[in-house]
């Protein structure tokens, strides 16, 4: 099957809830989106204890909408994908834990046995108390606890915005979850199909960037899924690598309608950005991307990057600053906005802007927009298409 690049992006941005006509509006929509795009990480650069916030996918989003699902135990925190912190729904926890866990080798190291014994006897325990009781050196304790967490032997039971949430044995916190009930390859295959539904046709490289699994593992999974006709191979216009999509999504892909023009700034670990990580890095070589930065997405294509400053020693971004040297295909932000303007037809042009850490707005984008006649309206920046299509960028806003 062959699809155009515009078909792929239209399908992908709708399935990712980034397209303007696909975004949610209610707390129930938040849960649906988190489930369909799971595992969903907290926003890059946010504080420890932050819930997953799908800000870029919900109109007039409120923080408490995600927090209420976590407080109710409907969202479960763990280390998924490449061992990164993310949340899955309680109903799907067993599937994703079985697919992403990294079992410890036998016999278990003594520090791991010690922590397991402490939790068995005295748990659940806050992390700082568990470390004090273990009498392990901080580095050894952190490494051991992370390995146990990645193996889903222990879990952080985090239901509030709290640094001192309790830790417990997974088998006690979720006694009905049996991670050995299925072969890991079977759960990985099921998760792979779910991912192609959420992200759209995906290449082996994109699947690997998202999952953290080796490309060899992914090819073996795809071979079996192709044999069973659970996935189909797709050739994408302008793309050398084949892409793969769950077979029951083919009709939806064929009938997808174009999306309206949109511009958004996403965090680096967003479910839309993470699968494109390898391609993203190549675009910016030889420049090194810093830990916290925003990814500029224009009509479903990654169009640029920007980073922010830290406040004191905390990971809190005060504002985003465009670095001209790492903006893909355009050394100035006005060219990104000019590209947006070139798509304008009749009516209004909606542009939704987000700060990286979910708290600070992307101020450099806001200033440019307001200087050029954009106004804030119901959660979006809008501009009448009849206004002059000229964009001005002052010298100090490009640094």
Q: What is the per-residue pLDDT across 30-50, written as a single tens digit (0 to 9) for each?
A: 999 999 999 999 987 777 788
**pTM to 2 decimals?**
0.81
Q: What is the DSSP letter of 112?
A: H
Out of 3.90.1150.10, 1.10.10.10, 1.10.1740.10, 3.40.50.1820, the CATH code matching 2-93+181-254 is: 1.10.10.10
Length of the chain equals: 399
CB 139 within 8 A of CB 147: no
Q: At what angle do helices 138-150 and 110-122 cross, to 10 degrees?
A: 80
Q: Give strand pairing partners of 78.
A: 86
Structural domain spans, the chain:
2-93+181-254, 102-173, 263-398
Out of 1.20.1260.10, 3.40.50.1000, 2.120.10.30, 1.10.10.10, the CATH code matching 102-173 is: 1.10.10.10
Q: What percent of the chain has pLDDT over 70?
A: 73
Q: What is the mean pLDDT of the chain?
A: 80
pLDDT band of residue 211 (cuts 50, 70, 90) is very high
- In 50-183, where does DSSP find H-type helix? 63-71, 93-100, 110-122, 127-134, 138-150, 170-173
Q: What percent of the chain has pLDDT over 90?
A: 55
pLDDT band of residue 362 (cuts 50, 70, 90) is very low
What distance, in Å, lies between the first and last C-alpha atoms of the chain? 45
Between 23-27, 298-302, 310-314, 359-363, the lowest mean confidence (pLDDT) is in 310-314
Between 191-205, 277-291, 377-391, the lowest mean confidence (pLDDT) is in 377-391
Domains 2-93+181-254 and 102-173 share a fold: yes
**Selection from 362, 370, 377, 361 nearest residue 393 by Cα:** 370
The beta strands (E) that lie in the chain are given as: 2-3, 75-80, 84-89, 125-126, 154-156, 166-169, 231-236, 243-246, 263-267, 293-298, 301-311, 314-321, 348-351, 375-377, 380-384
Question: What does the alpha-carbon distance between residue 188 and residue 178 come to, in Å, rounded to a whole number?
Answer: 16
Name the most confidently modeled range: 56-60, 68-72, 294-298, 325-329: 68-72
**In the 3-class helix/strand/coil scheme, how is 217-268 assigned residue by residue?**
HHHHHHHHHHHCCCEEEEEECCCCCCEEEEHHHHHHHHCCCCCCCCEEEEEC
Does residue 317 or residue 119 have the better pLDDT?
Answer: 119
Q: What is the DSSP letter of 168?
A: E
- Whether pLDDT at 134 is above 50: yes
Does residue 329 or residue 262 have the better pLDDT?
Answer: 262
CB 299 within 8 A of CB 261: yes
- Whether pLDDT at 176 is above 90: yes
Q: How confident is the model at residue 366, as a pLDDT? A: 60
The per-residue pLDDT for range 385-397, each reduced to its tens digit, is 444 444 333 323 3
**Selection from 151, 144, 147 nearest residue 98 by Cα:** 151
Q: What is the DSSP letter of 382?
A: E
Between 197-201, 235-239, 377-381, the lowest mean confidence (pLDDT) is in 377-381
């Amino acid at each position: 099957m062959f699809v155009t690049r515009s078909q792929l992006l239209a399908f992908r941005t709708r399935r990712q809830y980034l397209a303007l006509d696909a975004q949610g509006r209610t707390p129930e929509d938040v849960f649906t989106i988190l489930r369909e795009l799971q595992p969903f990480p907290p926003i890059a650069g946010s504080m420890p204890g932050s819930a997953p916030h799908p800000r870029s996918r919900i109109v007039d989003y409120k923080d408490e909408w995600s927090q209420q699902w976590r407080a109710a135990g409907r969202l479960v925190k763990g280390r998924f994908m490449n061992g990164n912190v993310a949340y899955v729904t309680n109903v799907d926890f067993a599937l994703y834990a079985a697919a992403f866990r990294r079992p410890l080798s036998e016999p278990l190291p003594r520090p791991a046995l010690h922590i397991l014994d402490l939790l068995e006897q005295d748990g659940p325990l806050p992390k700082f108390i568990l470390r004090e009781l273990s009498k392990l050196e901080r580095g050894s304790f952190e490494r051991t606890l992370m390995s146990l967490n990645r193996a889903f032997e222990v879990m952080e039971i985090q239901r509030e915005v709290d640094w001192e949430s309790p830790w417990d044995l997974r088998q006690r916190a979720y006694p009905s979850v049996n991670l050995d009930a299925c072969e890991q390859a079977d759960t990985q295959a099921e998760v792979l199909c779910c991912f192609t539904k959420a992200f759209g046709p995906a290449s082996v490289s994109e699947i690997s960037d998202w999952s953290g699994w080796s490309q060899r593992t992914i090819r073996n999974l795809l071979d079996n899924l192709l044999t069973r006709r659970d996935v189909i191979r797709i050739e994408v216009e302008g793309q050398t690598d084949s892409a793969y999509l769950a077979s029951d999504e083919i009709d939806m892909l064929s009938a997808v309608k174009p999306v309206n023009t949109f511009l958004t700034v996403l965090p680096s670990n967003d479910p839309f950005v993470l699968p494109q990580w390898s391609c993203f890095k190549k675009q910016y070589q030889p420049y090194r991307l810093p830990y916290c930065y925003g990814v500029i997405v224009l009509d479903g294509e990654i169009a640029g990057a920007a980073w922010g400053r830290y406040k004191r020693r905390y990971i809190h971004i005060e504002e985003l600053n465009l670095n001209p040297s790492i903006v893909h295909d355009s050394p100035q932000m006005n060219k990104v906005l000019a590209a947006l303007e070139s798509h304008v037809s009749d009516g209004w042009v909606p542009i939704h802007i987000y700060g990286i850490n979910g708290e600070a707005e992307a101020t450099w984008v806001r200033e440019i927009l307001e200087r050029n006649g954009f106004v804030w309206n119901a959660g979006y920046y809008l501009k009448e298409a009849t206004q002059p299509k000229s964009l001005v960028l002052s010298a100090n806003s490009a640094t």
